[in-house]
Chain A
Amino acid sequence: MKRWILWGLIIGCLFLVVPAGADGQTPDAGGQEKAVVTVTTKLVPDVGLERGGKSPAVEIFIDGKPTGFTAPHTFVLNPGQRYELRGKARGYTDDFREISFAPGEHNFQLSLRLNSFSFILYVFPALLWGALLTLGLTVVAVFNGIIIGTLVGIGRVIKSKVVNLIAGFYTDFIRGTPLLVQIFMFHFGLPPLLGLLTGTDAVYVPAIISAIVTLSINSGAYVAEIVRAGIQSIDRGQMEAARSLGLTYRQALRHVILPQAFKRVIPPLGNEFIAMLKDSSLVSVIAMEELVRTGQLLQGRFYRSTEIWLAVAIIFLCMTLPFTRLVAMLERRMKTGD
């Protein structure tokens, strides 16, 4: 429980340090005559956080005093003095300018940006869609991975040199190369080769296919190692007892070894799921709009990387932490009684 409080504090502090910058230019100072200043405001992004979807009205303050007007509004200001202009709206960062005006007419814009919290709320739905894809990809990949991995894991322990070799090569290759490289190999590297072999043009498959296939194949190799370790962790006496009763190797595996291995394999499979939740972010490089890619796109649009990546991290945490706890619980339960 203490850990949760710590997480809350850390995240809270991050909100405080997120910069809420403003931009704009300061006109030249000086002059004796009065200046006529038309103040306009700009909301970035203009989303209308208030109820009803309308943009909030920006109140204009001069020298710290509310004028009672909302932008746009025109003021006549005395020359030679410095004024403080301020725009304020709920959910937006205040914009302050200390300025003095040359005589004449000025158009002056105060630009208000969503404050960090509002901005995160604003991009949250988009990020959640990304997270949904991340979750979906992970579930599909690990599901396929469990099927592939169970077969390959068994393939690593059975008494067949050829099968051992193939299964071993597969796990070595996948576990020994970066997932990123595997994605590139499948998505970009394979089509030309297939084209060459079949004498046709390279056919590039949609990113979603590449993503599912590579993640599944990748997960399969890790699950295979988990399954192999699970099988090998079962006491040799179990196989011997089964065989001594006349069961075939297959029967012994199916009725004696695998049911026992299955239980031991559940916690590490949970870890594999957590790892895949995080690693699946690599398919962002082939433009799959999962959580990380969504974050990149939002960053390109709003240039507010701090909030975006903080939000992305929080969403990842929200997805992984429950599983981390679940795995820990399963491991504890496994230790106390098989």
Chain B
Amino acid sequence: MIKVVDLHKKFHRLHVLKGVSTEIAQGEVVCVIGPSGSGKSTFLRCLNLLEEPSAGQIFIEGVEVTDHKTIDVNEVRAEVGMVFQKFNLFPHKTVLENIKMAPMLVRGLSAEEAEERAYQLLERVGLRSKADAYPDQLSGGQQQRVAIARALAMRPKAMLFDEPTSALDPEMIQEVLDVMKGLARDGMTMVVVTHEMGFAREVGDRVLFMDDGLIVEEGPPEQIFTNPQNERTKAFLGKILKL
């Protein structure tokens, strides 16, 4: 479904991704872990071309999206949903408008169609009653669920999550994880940067450990968490498990 070949990203002279290669199958849930600054976010942002890769290739359903000549980046982004650590809802629009906007502007849906779709998704994330609220009237967990609904409204082929629960108060983490689990169960292809070990174990098919711009180790969650091979993975897990 998604294939990444020798992906590099440089910010001026800062070499952030130093040759990342991996393949993500249809319906697979891949969790990405790794220390801060290791390039996890950058990797994710390259996948939907929010960052332009400096070198390497990305294929989505066999189409090379890093080929500038034939690819419209907006079309690619429309196919890959993204959920951010800080939700990034549009504060000047209601929850319903947040969700309706992109399908109408990008997909050309009518207002009625977009609204119907928005209500379905709000139902799915359990926030139908909040349709007319503004983002700042919602709790962090509710905002993040709206953000997920907003991304889903584009009917993406895959979803990217960049630490979706890191900015949340502890009591709100579960409601967001539950929505994500539901998605995984429904067969959504997901790449999730997260340090929620429970989530990774329960729904993750594979864990990638990134360090210093490279995928250092990858494997099934159980194996990575209980029996890491690489020294850096061990050191990292040792640190976060102590917390």
Contact = CB atoms under 8 A, between A and B. Distances in A.
Contacts of B106: 245-247, 251
A245 B109 CA distance: 14
A175 interface: no
Contacts of A338: 91, 136
A260 interface: yes
Contact of B151 (A240, A245, A251): A245
A97 interface: no
Given A237-B84, A240-B84, A338-B136, A245 B91 contact: no
Most chain A beta-carbon neighbours within 10 Å: one of B78, B91, B106, B136: B91
Interface string B37-79: 0000000010010100000000000000000000000110111
A297 interface: no
Contact of A241 (B74, B78, B80, B84): B84
Interface residues of B, number: 27
A249 to B, nearest CB: 9
B22 interface: no
B77 A246 contact: yes
B101 A246 contact: no
A136 interface: no
A256 B90 contact: yes
Interface in B114-139: 136
A238 interface: yes
A244 B86 contact: no
A256 B102 CA distance: 11
Contact of A235 (B80, B82, B88, B105): B88
A237 B151 CA distance: 14
Contacts, number: 66
B50 A244 contact: yes
Given A240-B50, A241-B84, A338-B136, A247 B91 contact: no
B164 interface: no
Contacts of A246: 74-75, 77-79, 102, 106, 154
A323 B216 CA distance: 61
A260 B98 CA distance: 14
Interface string A216-253: 00000000000000000001011011111111100100
Given A240-B88, A241-B88, A245-B102, 4 more contacts: A237-B86, A237-B88, A241-B90, A260-B92
Interface of A: 235, 237-238, 240-248, 251, 255-256, 259-260, 263, 337-338
27 contacts: A235-B86, A235-B88, A237-B86, A238-B90, A240-B50, A240-B88, A242-B90, A242-B102, A243-B77, A244-B50, A244-B151, A245-B101, A246-B75, A246-B77, A246-B79, A246-B102, A246-B106, A247-B74, A247-B101, A247-B102, A247-B105, A247-B106, A251-B105, A255-B101, A256-B90, A259-B92, A338-B91
- Pairs of residues from A and B, 5 with the lowest C-beta to C-beta distance, nearest first: A246-B78, A241-B88, A245-B102, A237-B88, A244-B82
